[in-house]
Amino acid sequence: MRNAIARKTTLAFTAAALAIGGLSTAAFAQRDPAYAAARAAGQVGEKMDGYLGVVGAANPSLQRLVTDINIKRRAVYADRAQATNSTIEEYAFTAGCQAIAKTVPGEKYQAPDGAWKTRTSAPPDRDPRCP
């Protein structure tokens, strides 16, 4: 009897732990390893318009990765633009300001003149309208 209760409790805890684990992975989903590697290698960079761009020579798998992420970003921008009563372009540009600010040294970003730059420990070179 006691053993049965103990087993049930253990099962409940396991279920709860799995549920919490599942929730946290959904809320804090991390980058796909291929995307993380491409960022770190400087093969992709953050553009001013809020989307990801291919830096240098593109190959089909890299292009697919970038297109896939940009489609997902656009869906999120469209949703938030509607919620904040703004246009997709305005929301995307603002997100671009923030995404460039969040790059880490070694990653690529697009400077106001359109050229790709490598992020250093210094603040990135952003559009003067960025907050």
Partner 1 sequence: MTSSGKWAVGALGPLALAGCINVNAPTEPIVIELNINIRQEVIYRLAEDAGNTIEDNADIF
Judged by the rule CB under 8 A, the positions of this chain that interact with partner 1 are 27-32, 69, 72-73, 76, 80, 83-84, 86, 89-91, 93-95, 97-99, 102, 129-131
Distance CA 121, CA 106 (A): 9
* Residue with Cβ nearer partner 1 (15 or 34): 34
Distance CA 100, CA 68 (A): 19
* Residue with Cβ nearer partner 1 (8 or 22): 22
* Residue with Cβ nearer partner 1 (90 or 118): 90
For residue 32, the minimal CB distance to partner 1 (Å) is 7
Distance CA 59, CA 108 (A): 17
Ranges of H-type helices in 41-105: 60-83, 88-101
For residue 72, the minimal CB distance to partner 1 (Å) is 5
Residue among 48, 53, 126 at smallest CA distance from 93: 48
For residue 37, the minimal CB distance to partner 1 (Å) is 14
For residue 92, the minimal CB distance to partner 1 (Å) is 9
* Residue with Cβ nearer partner 1 (54 or 95): 95
**81 with 95: CB under 8 angstroms?**
no
